[in-house]
Amino acid sequence: MNAPRVIAMLGGMSWESSAQYYRLANELVRERLGGLHSARIVLASVDFADVEALQVAGRWDEAGQLLAEAAKGLEAAGAD
């Protein structure tokens, strides 16, 4: 049997949408596998105020770097 994949979620663009995606991923796994199954998820949530401040200042490269570092952390934590 293949090991289940680990979902990477980069949240924080709005915590509300991150919560929705988390819920939906788990609902889909439960529908597919049944019982007490849930999604294997690694979640990193950035503070969007930091991202937005960089964007407003025109520092788009730094905003992208902030998100890229968070994504690298997801990969390091074992997400596929």
Question: What count of other Cβ atoms lies within 10 Å of the Cβ of residue 74?
Answer: 19
Mean of all residue pLDDT scores within the chain: 95
Q: Calculate mean pLDDT across residues 56-79.
A: 97
Largest Cα separation within the chain, whole Å, is 50
Flag whether pLDDT at 46 surpasses 70.
yes
Confidence (pTM): 0.83
Domains annotated on the chain, with CATH: 7-76 (3.40.50.1860)
Q: pLDDT value at position 1?
A: 60
Burial of 39 from C-beta contacts in 10 A (0-12 / 13-18 / 19+) = buried
| 8-45 pLDDT, tens digit each | 999 988 999 999 999 999 999 999 999 999 999 999 99
Tokens of 73: 């952390």
